[in-house]
Structure 1
Amino acid sequence: MDHPLAAASLPFTDPVGADPAGPAALVAAYPGPALRLADGLSIAEANAEAEEMLENDPRWFSDLQSWLSASSVAPGLRSVPIESARGIMIVEWAGVPLADGGFLLLGRDDTLERQLRHTLTESRRRYKDLVEVSSDFAWETGPDGTFVFVTHKGALGYDTDSLIGLDPRRLALEEWGDLPLPFDTHRPVDQSELWLKSADGTPACVVASALPLFGAQGEWLGARGVCRDVTDQVLRSAELARVRNRERLLAHIVHTLRDRLDAAEALTVAAAETARALSADGCRIYRAGEEGGLVLVAEFGAALPDSECAGGAQLAPMLDRIAASDGVVMDQIGELLLVGARTEHRQALNGTVLVWRADDSEPWDEEDRHLLSGVADHIGIAHAHLAYQERLRRLSERDGLTGLFNRRTFFERLEEALERTDSGPSALLYVDLDNFKAVNDLHGHQQGDTVLKAIGTLLSSGVRPGDLPGRLGGDEFVLWLGRADEAQARRVAERLLKGMAGLAHLSASPEKPLGLSIGIAVHVPGRGETVRELTDRSDAAMYAAKKSGKGHYALAPAHQPATQPANQPTATQPITLVETAP
């Protein structure tokens, strides 16, 4: 494209060119780009800066020509982009009509101002967009402390119209009195946390930052700031803290259960730790009984008061509800707030755990329920562990065939019984089967085992707490009768002998009937008799009964304490058949 100056074939005519104050002089002296156009909008004069612009980018001049040709008498201002060595620049042109029909064009570099204006506009738009899309809400209060501006989408469930003119203190959950809030602060506030009421009445936690507004005379004009709703974060943090605390308490209880080798002791400690962890007044742990129902196995803290609750009239139904429930059960009985949970192992009920507080204490909350539920899961495992330990103990203490105490356990228990000197006389019955070998020889060991089981049932039936029935091995049995005198021991021996009549069908033959030979030794505490001495006396009496014709019992003579000096043997007292009974 040809330079516009090349289109002027005739010399410029400047009727006012000789005038030092005319357009030609103004073009030459103008500090920015300047042009004088003739009547046909051709270039009559151009200063050096305008000529440089035309050389770099002549396209802008045609835009000015179109503008001037369509303009009225006073065209005004026109901004056009011009490509220069420094990049695109914006030049604002002022068109002034001349008397000869031409125009005077004076340009001003508007690039920097335009950029600043654009940057400011973009900054405002960016701030507006960020405020509108963020979870924060911006606000401003006036001199009276009420809202005069709130983000257009409102806040905390309120729309903007509901908040404008509202005193922010009406949103506060707590009574602040004269304490300043971010909304009426007289000093900068940064990340201040406060709780407000949402439109639906629920609490909302916000973090506020604010700046006070002051007038020229220093008077307070209000405050301006932003609030961010952090309710979800606070609740999540609180829940996380509760979960961590629950896990810490639960881990402590679990470690307590695991660190105790004895499961019964572990349950006792667990009851104490559960009560402390739940700030309860007391705790009870029940275990499912072998014949149904619940058995109290551990208790800690304040006992249930002596009332209907303690008597079970009201407590029993609650325990039944706990056992039948899949979750945690809460109830109030009298002045107690109770909460309980069932315990399980392999999805089968094996007990319950129950804790309580006085009704003037804090009520049970969801956190308490979660903690008790977690405790119940591990107590269920402890119940199973206890059952397993009891089974192992039974296997180690009992004879596998008859269920009676085995030799080792019987003599351990007998040793403990003889150490108790505060009791009266007791008796040891040494029992031996008559004609048992014939059963094995004629009918086999399976029939023999049947006989031994029947003898075990005979010995264990009718026993009292403190009595110890045992099998020493083979066809030899023992029965310790705690707190029994000679007369009582004889009655028991007679009962055993009569009981053998019901086992006659298990005999090898009528010629060799099953029977019992029983030796009775009465023990009197305080005479220094040992387990070995007592056993020897009852054993000797049993042999005396067997020699008398079997199917009898005999009473051993009383124990005679040794009076000889040490290292001198005591004379053996002969066994006398005191009494026999058919």
Structure 2
Amino acid sequence: MSTLAKFVASWKKQGGSNGLASAEGCAIRINANGKICDQSAHAGALAELWRENEPTLHSLATKALASRVPCDARLEGVAGTNFWLVAVPEGDGCLIVGRDTTLPDKVTEALMKSRALLKELLDSAVDVAFEVDADQNIRFITPVEAFGFKTEMWLGRAASQLFWPKGDAPVRNPFASKVAAHFDAVPVQLEGQERRWLHFSVHPQLDKTGNRVSLRGTCRDMTARLLAERKAKQDSLRFTLLQRITSSLNSSETAQELMDNASEALQEMLRADMVWAVVKYHEGLVPISIMGSRHEILDLDTIWHSFDDKNGAGVIAGDNRAHLGIRLDLNGQALGMVIISRDTEVSPWSDQEKQLLDGVAGVLTAAFSKAELIDRLYRLSSKDDLTGLLNRRALAETVEARLKHQCRTDLSGCLVFIDLDHFKEVNDTLGHQAGDTALKMVAEVMQNMIRPCDYAGRYGGDEFVLWLEDMRAEKAADKVRSLLDFMPKVKAAIGGEDLQLGASIGVCQSRPGVDLSFVELADKADAVLYEVKGSGRGDVAIARNETDVVVEEA
């Protein structure tokens, strides 16, 4: 039954088909002459409109009489009132019933405005409002356009496939949530677009048994805010790192201290477990600072050449992890490189961290340059007047600094003690000038023998000391035998071929964290040197540490 038929039936049940005086509603009866012949107690306004020939009201009566079926019409805004009118033909006249809809209409209008306002507020507060069914297929979405797409094209499609077309949906997938929850900074990558980050707020809809039948939610693009926050954090980290390294540039007294401080700052800021600061010398690459609790042997040459095609910081593949590194140059001249390492299976290097390292490349270059200058000035100011090697004081300070450094790196070096045999005979036979010539020739051989990371010094008189960084005792012994082979040339140069001038050498390898005193290490090397002198001179001997295992022959 139609709404109109229901209304007519309801009116007749009230007795409206008889006299209208007792009717509770609003009604008038019109006779064949178009005059009101009866009206209800509440029909004053309606009767007045009929008498004023209100067009809608008269047209409705005419239509009902002509068609002989009930008709209805809306009358709005007349005398500040809204009516729903129904005209029912009765013989030559008709019954006109009016229902005052002013209040319901205003309520409906307010609700419609509220709904429109709510939608407007929702659309401005979030980028997308959605509902997905139990299978995560989208069945409602607003607005009609979002993230550059017409959202009507998403209806019926799987939400996860839309937001993660490469199949890399996160473990905490908002569309799969079984409880009301908020998901902050969820990475998504819509088809053909760059990655963006969304904030999701979801509310599952459950049936009486507790099963999820749908999920409603909203999402808002927070990419700009996230990137701004990351940039602010990045700028803060870069500023702090620059400040720490710059402070070290101004306060460090030695090249080692400067590079250790810079490496320590990098290790802390980049959450690394190892940092190498490597200097590029003409002779090769030499680590001058290794900071961290983990030691790994690196193929420095391979890493260095891997930077040939890179501008700025880059990630270098290692045996079981990837390293972050940067090569430093000044005015076209290679200074060195910094290599930073951590467990990249747990925490891979990010683009932001590469940018951070690029951002401090300038101050790292300054640190390398100053470290090189400090080292050069220290060597110049600490030279022995005759030979140009380090003097005894500088030698002791340098070796003890290296021994302390080895506590962190777990590397070891060798202290080599050299004593010239029968040197007094040179002075007594050929004079002190010949003796000085011999000392300078030995010093020159030693200087040519060492690498940039090694140190050579005159201990006193005809005694010399070498510090060979990161070298085993056996290799050090082989290296210094060339000095024994050179002694005949020294004798020939001073015109003393018949003299017994030679050299005896003792080698002692340091133990990281145990040997920290130059004097104690020198005494060990000196002791084994005198064993050489006691057994005939002109040879090299290696001091045995307490941890060495002695294998007795059967």
Q: TM-score, normalised by structure 1?
A: 0.50
RMSD between superposed Cα atoms in Å: 5.8
Runs of at least 5 residues in structure 2 that lack an aligned partner in the other structure: 1-14, 398-416, 428-436, 447-457, 464-486, 495-554
Distance of 1:292 and 1:165 partners within structure 2 = 58
Map residues 564-575 of structure 1 onto 2, 5 A cutoff. none
Candidates 22, 30, 34, aligned match of 1:41: 34
One-letter amino acid of the counterpart of residue 369, structure 2: A
- After TM superposition, give the deviation of residue 295 of structure 1 in Å: 5.3
One-letter amino acid of the counterpart of residue 285, structure 1: A
| Structure possessing the higher radius of gyration over alpha carbons | 1
Distance of 2:373 and 2:340 partners within structure 1 = 26
The aligned residue for residue 75 of structure 2 is 80
8 Å CA contact 2:16–2:23 kept in 1: the answer is: no
Q: What CA deviation, in whole Å up to 9, does each residue of 1:117-161 have, x standing for no partner? A: 33444555666677788533322545xx66583437799998222
- Is residue 106 from structure 1 mapped to residue 97 from structure 2 by the alignment? yes
Runs of at least 5 residues in structure 1 that lack an aligned partner in the other structure: 1-20, 399-403, 430-457, 468-479, 496-582
Distance change in 2, residues 1:323/1:379 (3 Å)? farther
The aligned residue for residue 127 of structure 2 is 135
- After TM superposition, give the deviation of residue 258 of structure 1 in Å: 4.2
- After TM superposition, give the deviation of residue 80 of structure 1 in Å: 0.7
- Is residue 96 from structure 1 mapped to residue 88 from structure 2 by the alignment? yes
Distance change in 2, residues 1:325/1:293 (3 Å)? farther
Q: Secondary structure at the match of 2:311?
A: coil
The aligned residue for residue 432 of structure 2 is none
Distance change in 2, residues 1:250/1:56 (3 Å)? farther
Distance of 2:42 and 2:110 partners within structure 1 = 28
Distance of 1:117 and 1:321 partners within structure 2 = 73
Q: What CA deviation, in whole Å up to 9, does each residue of 1:322-378 have, x standing for no partner? A: 377422244346567444212245786533222345897755443443343344332
Candidates 196, 201, 206, aligned match of 1:208: 201
Identity value in percent: 17
Distance change in 2, residues 1:415/1:146 (3 Å)? closer
The aligned residue for residue 158 of structure 2 is 163
8 Å CA contact 2:280–2:336 kept in 1: the answer is: yes
- Is residue 350 from structure 1 mapped to residue 335 from structure 2 by the alignment? yes
Distance of 1:163 and 1:360 partners within structure 2 = 32
The aligned residue for residue 151 of structure 1 is 141
Q: Secondary structure at the match of 1:112?
A: helix
Candidates 464, 480, 491, aligned match of 2:443: 464
Q: Secondary structure at the match of 1:162?
A: coil
8 Å CA contact 2:50–2:58 kept in 1: the answer is: no
Distance change in 2, residues 1:36/1:346 (3 Å)? farther
Map residues 307-326 of structure 1 onto 2, 5 A cutoff. 314-322=299-307, 325-326=310-311
The aligned residue for residue 267 of structure 1 is 259
Map residues 408-487 of structure 1 onto 2, 5 A cutoff. 464=443, 483-484=461-462
Distance of 2:46 and 2:170 partners within structure 1 = 70
The aligned residue for residue 370 of structure 2 is 385
The aligned residue for residue 546 of structure 1 is none
The aligned residue for residue 500 of structure 1 is none
One-letter amino acid of the counterpart of residue 241, structure 2: L
Distance of 2:343 and 2:22 partners within structure 1 = 100
Q: What CA deviation, in whole Å up to 9, does each residue of 1:4-31 have, x standing for no partner? A: xxxxxxxxxxxxxxxxx898941x4444
Distance of 1:89 and 1:418 partners within structure 2 = 108
- After TM superposition, give the deviation of residue 380 of structure 1 in Å: 0.8
Map residues 179-218 of structure 1 onto 2, 5 A cutoff. 185=178, 189-191=180-182, 207-215=200-208
Distance of 1:263 and 1:381 partners within structure 2 = 14
- After TM superposition, give the deviation of residue 255 of structure 1 in Å: 5.6
Map residues 264-343 of structure 1 onto 2, 5 A cutoff. 264=255, 265-287=257-279, 289=281, 296-301=287-292, 304-305=296-297, 314-322=299-307, 325-332=310-317, 337-343=322-328
Distance change in 2, residues 1:67/1:263 (3 Å)? farther
**Higher RCO (C-alpha 8 Å, min separation 6):** 2
Distance change in 2, residues 1:239/1:336 (3 Å)? same
One-letter amino acid of the counterpart of residue 483, structure 1: G
Work out the number of aligned pairs and report it: 395
Distance of 2:275 and 2:337 partners within structure 1 = 11
The aligned residue for residue 225 of structure 1 is 216
Q: What CA deviation, in whole Å up to 9, does each residue of 1:425-459 have, x standing for no partner? A: 999x9xxxxxxxxxxxxxxxxxxxxxxxxxxxx9x
The aligned residue for residue 577 of structure 1 is none
Distance of 1:336 and 1:175 partners within structure 2 = 25
8 Å CA contact 2:29–2:37 kept in 1: the answer is: yes
Deviates more, 1:121-130 or 1:261-270: 121-130
Distance of 1:165 and 1:255 partners within structure 2 = 49
Distance change in 2, residues 1:189/1:332 (3 Å)? closer
8 Å CA contact 1:327–1:373 kept in 2: the answer is: yes
